Structure formats: C-alpha cells, structure tokens
Chain A
Amino acid sequence: MANHDYKLIVSVNQDVCVGAGLCVLSTDEVFDQRDEDGVVKLVQNEPPEELYEKVLGAVRKCPSKAIKAEQIPKENKEA
C-alpha cells in the first residue's frame, strides 16, 4: 500500500451509533462493539497505516456516521 502523508486519528460518537456492526466487518482490529448494548468501541485510535483503507471504508459505511477519522498531516516528512 502507498505511504500516507497523514496520520489517522479515529474517534467514535457512541450517542449516535445504532449498533449495526458494519464497522466491525470492515476491520475488527480497530472497531469492536460493547458487550452490553452493541454500541461501537475503539480497539485503538491511532491504527497502523496498513489499516487506513479499511478504517476509511468503515467511516463511509457507518449508517449513522458515528465514526470520524481525522487526517493529521505528518510533520517533517521527507519528499
């Protein structure tokens, strides 16, 4: 996979999550569902680059837009 010139910081809004679990299907290395109510929880919020595509896929597929992935430009990145 191509190197990314940004870093992804993932966050979730548990108030709007409808527990559909589509994010977990995208990657269970970043998303999990709370046992008691199925609401999303993060396994990690700064996933490694090889998971970026999957995380961005999860952001798109979440029906309630409960997931945010902020792209922070990397500092001191050589060309």
Chain B
Amino acid sequence: MLGKESTIVIVGAGQGGLQAASSLRDEGYEGRLLLIGDECCSPYQRPPLSKGFLSGDFDAADVILELPEFFVQAEIQHLAGERVTSIDRPTRQLTLASGPAVAYDHLILATGSRNRMLPCQDLDLDGVLSLRTLDDAEALKDRMATAKHVVVVGAGFLGLEVASMAAVRGAEVLIVEATERTMERVVSPEVSQAFRRLHERNGVRFSFSSQVVAIHADAGRVSGVELQDGSRLSADLVLVAIGVVPNTDLAESAGLQVQNGIVVNPVLGTRDVAISAIGDCAAFPYAFDNGQCIRLESVQNAVDQGRCIAERLTGGHGRYDQVPTFWSEQASSRLQIAGVARRDDTAVVRGDPESDKFSVFRYRRGRLVCVESINSPADHMMGRRLLMNKCNPTPLKVAGVSCDLRQLLATA
C-alpha cells in the first residue's frame, strides 16, 4: 500500500485521470498526488461537446469538471499544458516536455485516445475539422454557424450527434459512411435502422458503403469531397468522425504491452507492477466475456476504472467488474447501451422497431450480452441489472412486452 511518503502520478487529466485523482483522496490516500495533462484548461468532460455545446445550451464553463480551487483543497498538484514524453521504468521516473523529471511510486496512464484521420486529410485545409477537444468544439461551433453544406464522414455516435445538430441549424447535411449502416460496429441492425429513420426525418441524408477518397479545396478553403465512385459533393464544412486510436505511444516506448490499447490485467495493472492504465487507452479483460480483452470509449468506463484503481492503490481488491454503459443523444432521441455486443450476436426486439421507442436484447450462444434501448430508460436500467446479476431471460420472455422485466430479474 502506498503511504504518506509515496508519490502517485497520473498522466492525462481527462475524465478518467481526474476521477482517479479525486477517488484516491476520497479513499484516504495521503501521499503526494500529481495529475499531469497536456491540455491547458481545467479538466473537462467531452460528451456535451457534440451535444449541448454545439446548440449553445452550454458553454466552456459548463463542461469543466473541477475548478482550480478543488486541486488546492484536495492537495492534488495539477500540471496543465504539460506533456509527458517518456517513462524510465527502472528508475521510476517520467520526463516532461518542459524538461524536468518526475519520480513516481505508482503511475496511472489515462492518456485517452485521439481522432483517426482520413488518408487524404490535409490538416491545414480550412473547413475540415474533427472533434475531440474543447478547442475543436469551439472551432466547429463557429463554422456551423455559417455552414450551408455539411459533409460528415463516418456514421458513428460522434458523426451522428454532430449531424443532427447541424441539421437543426438548417444546414444541408450528408453523412458518408463506409459500411452499410449507422453505428455498424456497435449496435444491432434494428437500432441502426431506427436511427437512420430518425435522422432522415430531420433532413439528414446518407451515403452508405461509400468512401471519401479526396477533399477538394478552393483557395485553401474546403469546397467539397470526392467519393470512390468519382462523384463530387460540394461542402463548406467537412467533419471527419471515423473513430479514435488509443494514445499508447508512451507505454509502447517504455516497453509495455500494447495491443489495441495498453494491455492490463483484471486489476487494471500492466506487467510492470508500478504502472496501471485506465479509460480510453486501456485494453482490459472483460469480466462478462471470459476475460476477452476489450477497449471501451465511454464516460462510465473511464470513471469506474478511475475509481477502481483508486480503491486498489488504497488497499481494496481492485478487480474491475462493472457492466459497461453508454449513451448517445441524436435527433432528439436517446440511445442507451448496457453491455457489449459483437456484430454477429443475435438481436431480440422488445417493442415495436418501427416506433421511436423500443429495445434490442443481444444474445451470444444463448447468453444475454447487451441491451440497446431507444427512448426506453426503464429497459436500459433492467438490462444493466440483468447483466450485472448474470441473469439470462429467454428471448421469448424478453420479446413479450407484457412480460415484466422486473419479474425476470426476481425469478432468474
């Protein structure tokens, strides 16, 4: 256990890093605590950046997670605008971009992820944007105020959320997606279809199974995109939202195992006992799928892993075993997901899939693995509980809307 004389350093002052820091204090850790992040402002949350921030409902002050006073009070040294450039494991030291070395007794990597870029993407081209940071969101919001023809590349959560905001603002919005449906990687065809319908009703158009092969410009400003079939679409704003890659460089150059994320064990530790990893950057054994290694990008995952590591470092068992949850808001509808499904998991619909309010229960080899709910928070909550308690209601029962899910939980 780490006592008064020890130093815990957290790299990455995002959702997970901040949670780990504040949970360490909540759990009674009394040693030195450093939170180092390369962004300049106070730690903030990202979800509103593609939602209420773009609509103007929230501003920058609304997304801040903790103000500077908090760090003083909790005795957390927050180094903002500071990048960690290397880890020397034998001497347990980090190097900062500004020069100095920092010693640690335990190191938590919470470096998050960064946006993937299109092969044809020119970073300097005016009007081609991506969205990850508060600065990105400010730039996007500015652009959206005047944009008339918006092309969103990628029909994942982020692209869809931004598309619905742009459509509300009256822009003509086209989403170009490489696969044949929305959110293809993570949700059932039924949910994909329902969201496609909701977006189309709002005037958003889709081009599925298509790829952007070139971005055209006029005097340094984006003028349109070209698809693989040669067709050209004019655009004054292009948002690239084709997923993220985990920030693993630090770990990799320190010789830690990296495979779609920094590989950790069930207690979120790397093979160096003095280093752990949490949040978007960590690939962890999934407790509900025989320890299959997965990496998730969600607030719940970052927060719960932050709490979990704080518990372990203060003497708790530290096994990470939470049911993953996720939410997204698009086209005035809410999607909530509990658990994790794979593409070929079967889908059992509860409710009317033609309506804007139903759930899909996903099964793998007869076991419930995930529940996707549209505008049905009660189903979502039940899904969470069923998964947590490893209950396995039969598809027949789940599909019968008259069947009370709460009873399934009680009798399972």
Q: Is the CB of B48 within 8 A of A36?
A: no
Looking at chain A's contact residues, is the secondary structure mostly helix, strand, loop, or mixed? loop
Q: Is the CB of B377 within 8 A of A19?
A: yes
Q: Is the CB of A37 within 8 A of B381?
A: yes
**B19: nearest chain-A partner, CB-CB:** A25
Instruction: Determine the chain A residues whose CB is within 8 A of the CB of B307 once the complex forms.
Output: 25
Instruction: Determine the chain A residues whose CB is within 8 A of the CB of B65 once the complex forms.
Output: 60-61
Q: Is the CB of A38 within 8 A of B62?
A: no
**A26: nearest chain-B partner, CB-CB:** B22
**B52 is an interface residue with CB less than 8 A from chain A:** yes
Other-chain residue from A19, A20, A25, A57 in contact with B381 (beta carbon distance below 8 A): A19
Minimal beta-carbon separation of B64 from chain A (angstroms): 6
Minimal beta-carbon separation of B85 from chain A (angstroms): 30
Q: What does the 1/0 interface line of A31-45 toward B look like (CB < 8 Å)? A: 000011111000000
Q: What does the 1/0 interface line of B289-311 toward A look like (CB < 8 Å)? A: 00000000001100100010000
**A18 is an interface residue with CB less than 8 A from chain B:** yes
**B64: nearest chain-A partner, CB-CB:** A60
How far apart sit A63 and B52, CA to CA, in the bound complex (Å)?
10
B370-388 at interface with A (beta carbon < 8 Å): 377-378, 380-381, 384
**A22 is an interface residue with CB less than 8 A from chain B:** yes
**A21: nearest chain-B partner, CB-CB:** B300
**A34: nearest chain-B partner, CB-CB:** B381
Minimal beta-carbon separation of B389 from chain A (angstroms): 14
Other-chain residue from A22, A36, A37, A57 in contact with B303 (beta carbon distance below 8 A): A22
Q: Is the CB of A63 within 8 A of B48?
A: yes
Contact A39:B377 (CB < 8 A) given known A25-B303, A57-B70:
yes
Q: Is the CB of A57 within 8 A of B47?
A: no
Instruction: Determine the chain B residues whose CB is within 8 A of the CB of A38 once the complex forms.
Output: 377, 380-381, 384
How far apart sit A57 and B19, CA to CA, in the bound complex (Å)?
12
Q: Is the CB of A65 within 8 A of B62?
A: yes
How far apart sit A55 and B64, CA to CA, in the bound complex (Å)?
15
B355-412 at interface with A (beta carbon < 8 Å): 377-378, 380-381, 384, 406
A25-79 at interface with B (beta carbon < 8 Å): 25, 35-39, 57, 60-61, 63-65
How many interface residues does chain A have, given as a range? 10 to 19
Q: Is the CB of A63 within 8 A of B66?
A: no
Contact A63:B381 (CB < 8 A) given known A19-B336, A20-B299:
no
Minimal beta-carbon separation of B352 from chain A (angstroms): 19
Q: What does the 1/0 interface line of B318-340 toward A look like (CB < 8 Å)? A: 00000001010100001010000
Instruction: Determine the chain B residues whose CB is within 8 A of the CB of A19 once the complex forms.
Output: 327, 336, 377, 380-381
Contact A20:B57 (CB < 8 A) given known A37-B378, A60-B65:
no
**B44: nearest chain-A partner, CB-CB:** A60
How far apart sit A19 and B377, CA to CA, in the bound complex (Å)?
8
Instruction: Determine the chain B residues whose CB is within 8 A of the CB of A35 once the complex forms.
Output: 381
B46-78 at interface with A (beta carbon < 8 Å): 47-48, 52, 57-58, 62, 64-67, 70
Q: Is the CB of A36 within 8 A of B378?
A: yes
How far apart sit A19 and B62, CA to CA, in the bound complex (Å)?
19
**B45 is an interface residue with CB less than 8 A from chain A:** yes
Q: Is the CB of A18 within 8 A of B336?
A: yes
Minimal beta-carbon separation of B108 from chain A (angstroms): 18
Q: Is the CB of B299 within 8 A of A63?
A: yes
Minimal beta-carbon separation of B232 from chain A (angstroms): 38
Q: Is the CB of A65 within 8 A of B336?
A: no
Instruction: Determine the chain B residues whose CB is within 8 A of the CB of A25 once the complex forms.
Output: 303, 307
Q: Is the CB of B299 within 8 A of A36?
A: no
How far apart sit A35 and B385, CA to CA, in the bound complex (Å)?
10
Instruction: Determine the chain B residues whose CB is within 8 A of the CB of A37 once the complex forms.
Output: 377-378, 380-381
Residues of B at under 8 Å CB distance from A? 45, 47-48, 52, 57-58, 62, 64-67, 70, 299-300, 303, 307, 325, 327, 329, 334, 336, 377-378, 380-381, 384, 406
A-B contact pairs, 26 of them (CB 8 A): A18-B329, A18-B334, A19-B327, A19-B380, A20-B300, A20-B325, A22-B303, A35-B381, A36-B406, A37-B377, A37-B381, A38-B380, A38-B381, A38-B384, A57-B70, A60-B62, A60-B64, A60-B65, A60-B66, A61-B45, A63-B48, A64-B48, A64-B52, A65-B48, A65-B52, A65-B58
Residues of A at under 8 Å CB distance from B? 18-20, 22, 25, 35-39, 57, 60-61, 63-65
Having A60-B65, A65-B52, one finds 14 other A-B pairs with CB under 8 Å, namely A19-B336, A19-B381, A20-B300, A20-B325, A20-B327, A22-B299, A36-B381, A60-B64, A60-B66, A60-B67, A61-B45, A64-B52, A65-B57, A65-B58
